[in-house]
A and B are shown apart, each in its own frame.
Chain A
Amino acid sequence: MTPALELADLRKSFGKTEIIRGVDLSIGKGERHAVIGPNGAGKSTLFNLITGRFPQSGGSITLHGTDLAGKAPFEINRMGLSRSFQITNIFPKMTVFENVRCSLLWSLGYRYNFWSMVGRSRALTEGAEEILEQINLTARRDLPAGVLSYAEQRALEIGITIAGGADVIMLDEPTAGMSHSETDYIVDLIRTVTTGKTLVMVEHDMGVVFGLADQISVLVYGEIIATGTPEAVRANPKVQEAYLGAALEDH
Chain B
Amino acid sequence: MTDQSTTNASKSAQGVRAGSMMLALTPWCIAAVALLVLPFIFTANSAITIMNQMAITIIFALAYNMLLGQGGMLSFGHAVYAGVGGFACMHIINNDAFFSQLPLPLLPIFGGLFGMGLAMIVGSFSTRKAGTVFAMISLGVGELIAACSVIIVAFFGGEEGISGDRTYGLPFLGVEFLQQIEVYYLIAVWLMLSAALMYLYSRTPLGRMANAVRDNPERAEFLGYSARWVRFYSFVASGFFAGIAGALFAINYEILTEENLNTTQSGIILLVTFLGGVGFFFGPILGAIVFTLVQTVLSLQTELWGFYLGIVFVVTVMFFPGGLAGLIMMHVPAMRLGKLSVLALPYLRTLGAGFVGCLGAAALIEMVFHVRHASVGDHEMTVYWTTFDSHTVLPWVLAIAATVVGFWIARATAPSLAAAWSEANTADGGQP
Return the contact of B219 from the options A72, A89, A120 (Cβ within 8 A). Answer: A89
Using CB atoms, name the residue of chain A closest to B203.
A117
Alpha-carbon gap, A238 to B238, bound state (A): 60
Q: Kindly provide the distance from the CB of A86 to the nearest chain B CB, expressed in whole angstroms.
A: 13
**A227 at the binding interface (Cβ < 8 Å):** no
Alpha-carbon gap, A125 to B223, bound state (A): 17
The answer to whether A91 and B212 touch across the interface, beta carbons within 8 angstroms, is: yes
Q: Which interface class (under 10, 10 to 19, 20 to 34, 35 or more) fits A?
A: 35 or more
The answer to whether B6 and A78 touch across the interface, beta carbons within 8 angstroms, is: no
Residues of A within 8 A of B205 (CB): 105, 110-114, 116, 118
The answer to whether B8 and A74 touch across the interface, beta carbons within 8 angstroms, is: no
**A41 at the binding interface (Cβ < 8 Å):** no
The answer to whether A106 and B237 touch across the interface, beta carbons within 8 angstroms, is: no
Task: Output the residue of A95, A102, A110 with the most chain B CB within 10 A.
Answer: A102
Alpha-carbon gap, A129 to B212, bound state (A): 19
Q: Which interface class (under 10, 10 to 19, 20 to 34, 35 or more) fits B?
A: 20 to 34
Residues of A within 8 A of B219 (CB): 85, 89-91, 160
**B113 at the binding interface (Cβ < 8 Å):** no
Alpha-carbon gap, A119 to B21, bound state (A): 11
**B216 at the binding interface (Cβ < 8 Å):** yes
The answer to whether A106 and B223 touch across the interface, beta carbons within 8 angstroms, is: yes
The answer to whether A164 and B204 touch across the interface, beta carbons within 8 angstroms, is: no
The answer to whether B221 and A91 touch across the interface, beta carbons within 8 angstroms, is: no
Q: Kindly provide the distance from the CB of B215 to the nearest chain A CB, expressed in whole angstroms.
A: 4
Q: Tally of A-B residue pairs with Cβ under 8 A?
A: 113
The answer to whether A102 and B208 touch across the interface, beta carbons within 8 angstroms, is: yes
Instruction: Spot the interface stretch: B35-43, B55-63, B226-234, B335-343.
Output: B226-234
The answer to whether B203 and A119 touch across the interface, beta carbons within 8 angstroms, is: yes
**A191 at the binding interface (Cβ < 8 Å):** no
Using CB atoms, name the residue of chain A closest to B2.
A95
Using CB atoms, name the residue of chain B closest to A103.
B223
**B307 at the binding interface (Cβ < 8 Å):** no
Return the contact of B221 from the options A77, A101, A111, A138 (Cβ within 8 A). Answer: A77
Q: Kindly provide the distance from the CB of B310 to the nearest chain A CB, expressed in whole angstroms.
A: 29
Return the contact of A98 from the options B3, B216, B218, B224 (Cβ within 8 A). Answer: B3
Question: Which residues from 1 to 48 on chain B have a C-beta closer than 8 Å to any C-beta of chain A?
Answer: 1-3, 5-6, 8
**B211 at the binding interface (Cβ < 8 Å):** yes
**B200 at the binding interface (Cβ < 8 Å):** yes
Residues of A within 8 A of B6 (CB): 119, 125
Alpha-carbon gap, A89 to B216, bound state (A): 8
The answer to whether B225 and A106 touch across the interface, beta carbons within 8 angstroms, is: yes
Alpha-carbon gap, A92 to B6, bound state (A): 21
Given contacts A89-B216, A90-B219, contact A102 B209 (CB under 8 A): yes
A-B contact sample (16 more), CB < 8 A, given A102-B208, A105-B223, A114-B204: A73-B218, A74-B220, A74-B224, A77-B222, A77-B224, A83-B222, A85-B219, A89-B219, A91-B216, A92-B215, A105-B209, A116-B204, A117-B204, A118-B3, A118-B208, A119-B6
What are 24 contact pairs spanning A and B, CB under 8 A? A53-B218, A82-B222, A89-B216, A89-B222, A90-B219, A91-B215, A91-B219, A92-B216, A93-B1, A93-B211, A95-B1, A95-B2, A98-B3, A105-B208, A105-B209, A114-B233, A114-B237, A115-B204, A116-B205, A117-B204, A119-B6, A119-B203, A120-B5, A160-B223
